[in-house]
Amino acid sequence: MLPFKTLIQTDKTLKLPVYQQIANRLIGLIQEGILKPGLYLPGSRVLALQLALHRKTVIAAYDELVSQDWLVAVPRKGVMVAGNLPVIRPRTYRGAVSPYEDAAAFSFHQVPSITLASVKPVTGALVVNDGFPDARLAPLTDWVKECRSVIESPRYHKLLMYGGATGLESLRKQMMEYLSDTRGLNISLPHIMITRGAQMAIYLAAALLIKKDDLVIVGSPNYFFADLCFEQRGAQLLRVPVDEEGIDVDMIEQLCSKRKIKMLYLITHHHHPTTVTLSAARRMKLLAVIRKYKLPVIEDDYDYDFHYSSAPILPLASADHGGNVIYIGSFTKSLGLSIRIGFMIAPADFIKAAADLRRLMDLRGDNLSEQALANLFEDGTIDRHLKKSNKIYKERRDLLCHLLRTKLGDAVKFTVPSGGMAIWLRFSKKYPLKKIAAKAAALGLQMTSGEQYHYGASSQNALRLGFASLNNKEIAAVVGTLEKVLFY
């Protein structure tokens, strides 16, 4: 007889009933090939004695396995392992083995990834991000109040169940009004879709537009997660330089005249990573190119709401583009809250297709967050928060630029951004950014070494230095640490 006392271990402190523990272990022994088809198991009294359990517990385990067809009850003989199960050779003993190994036993599509040089984390370190809002300024009290109001509403149980893949109608209506007032967009309800952040919108649009080996134009450098998204769809990226006036529109026109371009992705306002804004002259010419070649465009406008030096330039989506621009934005950065709400503006049939695709992986958005945000738009909270944040972020931008000039001098170069939440900071070649990041980490400052900003492009020894999330004291500490790293 097999040593069931050692093969079957039970634990009465677990929530799982003991009889179920026995049944599960017997199934495991069958699957491992230790208990073979046709083998009779010990009688219930014998097994109960070996396991020091009540006989009824063993009977319950056997009954469970008979009901699942693992065991067969044979009159006057007992129970045996079902004879119709495949014979399995017992595994050699290797201790507890998980069926999930490091490598899958099946093939699957690989997703392009980017490997970044890691800097050892420092507890309590000051962190420089690439342009995020200050969560300390977020309208958290108003947000909690609205969420509570929605939850306590008599219609909340219905709110949880209704709503489609395009987002709550109440938020879409508020967004229509807001985008018309701030960005000059002439749209109606079928033209707008709410998504879980701008990245989802980018992926949905790319998935509908791009097939394997399609040619897609992007800036160089470019927002690397967009690049990875397009490459995952099988696109071949054609990289067009970005200078102080934005992406090179003449080169875009040349490519369109010679090759079949499937799509153009660009950030017209506060380009990522360089923060430049596409000049008015290039905008006018690009619109003509878009109309002439019927070129589909994803216009990513991730932080339009933050501008300091002058009024923001209206997006391409607000002009005559012949229905070819898919306009994408986000409120995640606008609010500084841990919510993922973005939007996509496009022709009605494209929005419907995007909603159908989104429904395959996400039936609907976060109804609670969407309704709460709609309420904050309606009562003016969003407008007040953005005005307050713009004033504070402008002061922080100005302080950072002043300190960089006076403390770091010729070691760095940058252009004061007209808006956004970061400065594109280029270091002199004699100060390799990878070494700077490592030394800064040792002094308690966490910062990227910049590789992600040069994905598919030559390195400019530069990084996005976010200022919005740092108060004045923290900004001074960041620049002070960089000064020590560079000069001492």
Q: What is the pLDDT of residues 186-216, one digit of tens each?
A: 899 999 999 999 999 999 999 999 999 999 9
What pLDDT, on a 0 to 100 scale, did the predictor assign at position 114?
Answer: 63
Which pairing describes strands 325-330 and 297-300: parallel, antiparallel, or unpaired?
parallel
Instruction: Tell me the residue type at 135.
Output: A
In the chain, what percentage of residues exceed pLDDT 70? 92
Task: Report the C-alpha gap between 29 and 256 in whole angstroms.
Answer: 64
Confidence of residue 123 (pLDDT cuts 50, 70, 90): low
pLDDT by residue (tens digit) across 82-105?
988 877 666 555 555 556 566 777
Ordered structural domains, the chain, with CATH? 4-81 (1.10.10.10), 126-136+388-487 (3.90.1150.10), 139-383 (3.40.640.10)
Q: What would the mean pLDDT of 147-169 be, rounded to a whole number?
A: 82
Half-sphere exposure of 365 (CA within 13 A, CB side): 28
Tokens of 264: 């153009």
Tokens of 155: 């219609």
pLDDT at 119 over 50: no
- Look at phi and psi of residue 192 and say left if phi exceeds 0, alpha if psi is from -120 to 50, else beta: beta
Task: Report the C-alpha gap between 238 and 230 in whole angstroms.
Answer: 11
Quote the pTM value. 0.81
pLDDT by residue (tens digit) across 318-355?
998 999 999 999 987 777 777 789 999 999 999 999 99
Task: Give the distance, in angstroms, between the CA of residue 171 and the centroid of all CA atoms in the same chain.
Answer: 22
C-alpha distances (whole Å) from 370 to each of 195, 197, 330 are 10, 12, 13
pLDDT at 46 over 90: yes
What pLDDT, on a 0 to 100 scale, did the predictor assign at position 71?
Answer: 93
Of the listed ranges 206-210, 298-302, 379-383, 454-458, the one predicted with least confidence: 454-458
Task: Report the C-alpha gap between 322 and 406 in whole angstroms.
Answer: 48
In the chain, what percentage of residues exceed pLDDT 90? 66
Helix (H, G, I), strand (E, B) or coil at 106: coil
What pLDDT, on a 0 to 100 scale, did the predictor assign at position 437?
Answer: 93
Tokens of 359: 């429904």
What pLDDT, on a 0 to 100 scale, did the predictor assign at position 118?
Answer: 47
What pLDDT, on a 0 to 100 scale, did the predictor assign at position 333?
Answer: 75
Task: Report the C-alpha gap between 377 and 282 in whole angstroms.
Answer: 33
pLDDT at 231 over 80: yes
pLDDT at 69 over 80: yes
> If you average pLDDT over every residue of the chain, what do you get?
89
pLDDT by residue (tens digit) across 389-415?
999 999 999 999 999 999 999 999 999
Extended beta strands in 186-324, E state: 192-195, 215-220, 236-243, 246-247, 261-266, 297-300
